[in-house]
Each structure stands twice: as C-alpha cells, then as structure tokens.
Amino acid sequence: MLHRVNLASCLVLWITSCAITLAVDPNDYMARALQLMSETPLIDGHNDLPWQLRSQFNNQLNKVDLNTLANTHTNIPKIKDGRLGAQFWAAYVPCDTQYKDAVRQTLEQIDVIHRMCQKYPEIFMFASSSQDILKAFNMSKTASLIGVEGGHSLDSSLGTLRTMYQLGVRYLTLTHSCNTPWVDNWLVDTGSEPSEHNGLSSFGKQVIAEMNRLGMLIDLAHVSEEVMNQVLTLSKAPVIFSHSSAYAVCPHKRNVPDDVLRRVNETKGIVMVNFYNDYVTCSNTAKLSDVADHFDHIKKVAGADIIGFGGDYDGVPRLPEGLEDVSKVPNLVAELLRRGWTDEEVKAALGNNLLRVMSEVEKVRDSMSNEIPDDVPIPNEDVQNPCRTSFGYPSTSGSNGSAQSLSTLALLITLVLQAWITSTV
C-alpha cells in the first residue's frame, strides 16, 4: 500500500514537472522573457515622449490620445506590449534655452508628465521612490518617474534643484550637449567644444553634494569623461548613466569607457544601455543583436549587476531593426536569454539593479537628514549675462549692474559705428 502511495506521489510530481516544462520551455526564449518580465519590472532609464508632446502639440495634452497616437515610439498599446514596468520620463528642453527660459520650459515638461499620469490613471502611476515602483508594478501600472535632462535647466541654482526635487524629479542629467557655468559636457571630449571647468567647477561639486543630500540620482549620460571620474570619486551614492552604451563596442564619446564601467561596478552604480543606432554601431543602421553586444560587453567587463535598459525612445531618429519602438523590448530580453544569460542576470538588468541603486541613494539621503541645505550661490561672475539680474549679489552698479553695463557698452558701440558711417559717406 505504501509502495503504491509513493508511486502515485512520484507520478504526480513527474506530471507537474512536465506541465511546468511545457508551460515555459527553456528553449522558448520569448516565453521565458515574458515570464521574467511578469515577475520583475522592466525599468527604462530614459524616454522622450514628453518632448514629443511639446514639439508636436505644444503640451496641449487635451488634444492628444495616447491610445491612438501613431507617430511616436511610445503610446499606451506599445507600452502594454512592451511590458513597461517603470519609466523615467525625460523633462528635456534644448540647450538653446540656456540663459533664457530653461527653467520655465523645464517646469512645463514636469507639468505635462504629471498631467499625463492624471489623464491615464489606469495606465500610469506617478512614482518618486523605489517602493513606489514596486507598488505600481503590483497594481499592473507603469510607474512614472521624472528625470531632468541637462543641468542648464537649473539656471545654476541650488534652490531650483531643490524645488524640482519637491516636484518629483528623481534624477538630473548633469549636462545635455552644452557646457553649463559649472560642468563640462561630452562634446569636450570630441574637441568640438573647449573645456571650461576641467570637469566640475567648485559650484559643480556643490551640486553633487546637494543631490546626495536630497536623494536625487546623479545621471552621467552626456558628460565628459573627466566629469564621470570626478563624480564617481565625489558622490556618496551610486550614480547612473540613464541612456549610454559601451565605448569599446562603439567608440562614440556619448558611451562609457571600460575603465569607467569598472568604477561603476566598484561604486555599485548602473549603466542603462542606449538603443540609438549611432551609439550602438557608430553608423546609421543597427540590429537588435548589436544592442545585445553592448549588454554582453558590459557584463564581461563589469558584471551583470551594473546593467539596465535606457532605450532613448522618442528622443532619437534611428533605432535598430527589431527594436523599432517600446513594444519590441521583450525581443531583446529573449535575445539575452538565447545568449545564455541566467534568469537572475536578466532580472537584474530588467529592474533589480535600478531598484538597488535607487534604494541606496535613498539610504544616503536618510543618512544626511541632519545636514542643512547648501545655500551658497554660484559666483555672480560665473553667470553674468544680459538675461540675468543680480539681485542679492553685492554690486556697486545696482541690482542689474552686469546687464546695464553690457547695454551701455552696446549703445556706445552703436553710436561709434553710426558716427563712423556718417563720416565716411
């Protein structure tokens, strides 16, 4: 009798095992990919849909239906098909706004992200912490976080940085493709722009410390290599590259060199791989397998624990065959599995690495809770320009001495030119 019971138990176990194997065949890489994505949130580091809302609709969200929007890489059906668990939406404004209306335009981008979440509450949940991401995932919603792309959006103000944090911003990309009065951008490494600060200025180092105190992720995509290394030394918290790839695979200065990858590993940060063809193959064309090569290289050099996804959808004009829009990301997950990545390595890259980094940044913030905000402003001489007043700074020429001086100089030059033209006629 006992023998029959044991035999029956073994038969049940065998049938159960076969059923599990049939449900997710280890050789059915897409089925395995979708299973893993149902267990761990896919967290993407950078998506420029908010900029598409501005450039196409001037942020008039009432005129847009994200269920049917067809001319972008991202819409609600694509998000669902792509199993997007969490997204850092980029609050990006161009470098042309620097010294002009960058702060206003950035606030409008932050606003449109909030309104997007409010308009589609069944799809998006606004998130500002690692726990919020998990909460949204458990509710089958896409956690929506904000990253400000470019230090020019601060107008060199720590007060603006703090205000943006209060509005929900959880990372700042230190530069876009322009130097600011306190940090050098990646174009310095190409020789097309001069270094103005040898990396970070003294005020730039204040920005790093204040971001640590606030609990804001420091994003090193777009900065010069000198800035990468300086920040990796200065920051008390792990850093991110929200949308950069491996320089050794594609030697573009927007990508991350191997020595920096190793330092990211040492400091427990993350590099979220960009899908833009120009950063994947250094050419106009690319395939999904080329993107997987970047994942493989970073894993080989610095381990699977520093890798994430940073597609740059809706911010680039060219994407690899097989990764044409947000819905295609499961194809890349399946390719990593086909290449021998373990389930744990894939889950780390999908979202666990970013959750770990964000949790550590939050711990550093909590450990600095007794430190007071830094309210020492950038030196006035570093930011003088005709569009900026100087209220609060010591001045012998009034509250807007620099602008008045420049206006006076312009007037004198005009008068001299007019007199010269008159005398030569």
> What per-residue confidence (pLDDT) applies to 20?
42
Mean pLDDT of the region 263-287: 98
Active site residue 366: no
Q: Report the pLDDT averaged over residues 71-83.
A: 98
Of the candidates 152, 197, 222, 294, the residue annotated as catalytic is 222
pLDDT in tens, 169-197: 999 999 999 999 999 999 999 999 999 99
Which whole number is the average pLDDT over 80-95? Answer: 98
Q: How confident is the model at residue 417 (pLDDT cuts 50, 70, 90)?
A: low
Let me know if domain 29-370 sits in CATH 3.40.350.10.
no
| Residue 35: CB atoms within 10 Å | 13
3-state SS of the chain? CHHHHHHHHHHHHHHHHHHHHHHCCCCCHHHHHHHHHHHCCEEEEEECHHHHHHHHHCCCHHHCCCCCCCCCCCCHHHHHHCCEEEEEEEEECCHHHCCCCHHHHHHHHHHHHHHHHHHCCCCEEECCCHHHHHHHHHCCCEEEEEEEECHHHHCCCHHHHHHHHHCCEEEEECCCCCCECCECEHHHHHCCCCCCCCCECHHHHHHHHHHHHHCCEEECCCECHHHHHHHHHHCCCCCEECCCCECCCCCCCCCECHHHHHHHHHCCCEEEECCCHHHHCCCCCCEHHHHHHHHHHHHHHHCHHHEEECCCECCCCCCCECCCCHHHHHHHHHHHHHCCCCHHHHHHHHHHHHHHHHHHHHHHHHHCCCCCCCCCCCCHHHCCCCCCCCCCCCCCCCCCHHHHHHHHHHHHHHHHHHHHHHHHC
**Given the residues 189, 290, 305, 312, the one annotated as active site:** 312
Residue 316 pLDDT > 90: yes
Residue 73 has pLDDT above 60, yes or no: yes
Q: Where are the domains of the chain?
A: 29-370
Q: Which of 48, 189, 305, 325 is catalytic?
A: 48
Task: Give the pLDDT of residue 267.
Answer: 98
Among candidate residues 44, 132, 149, 290, the one labeled active-site is: 149
Instruction: Kindly tell me if the per-residue pLDDT of 336 is higher than 50.
Output: yes
15 pLDDT band, cuts 50/70/90, is very low
Q: How far is CA 392 from CA 158, 160, 241, 376, 401, in A?
A: 15, 16, 36, 12, 12
197 is an active site residue: no
Q: Is 243 a catalytic residue?
A: yes
| For residue 96, pLDDT beyond 60 | yes
Active site residue 176: yes
Q: What is the pLDDT of residues 133-182, one digit of tens each?
A: 999 999 999 999 999 999 999 999 999 999 999 999 999 999 999 999 99
349-371 pLDDT, tens digit each: 999 999 999 999 999 999 999 99
pLDDT in the model for residue 219: 99
pTM: predicted TM-score of the whole model, two decimal places: 0.88
Query: pLDDT category, 12, cuts 50, 70, 90?
Result: very low
Q: Residue 92: beta bridge partners?
A: 149
Q: What local confidence, expressed as pLDDT, does residue 399 receive?
A: 44
* Mean pLDDT value of segment 386-405: 68
The confidence band for 57, taking pLDDT boundaries of 50, 70 and 90, is very high
46 in catalytic set: yes
**The one catalytic residue among 243, 252, 294, 297:** 243
* Catalytic residue from among 73, 152, 176, 197: 176
Pairing of strands 217-219, 84-92: unpaired
Question: Would you state the pLDDT for residue 54?
Answer: 98
Percent pLDDT > 90 in the chain is: 86
**Is the pLDDT at 22 greater than 60, yes or no?**
no
Give the pLDDT band of residue 27 (cuts 50, 70, 90).
confident
Confidence band of 19 (pLDDT split at 50, 70, 90): very low
Residue 97 has pLDDT above 80, yes or no: yes
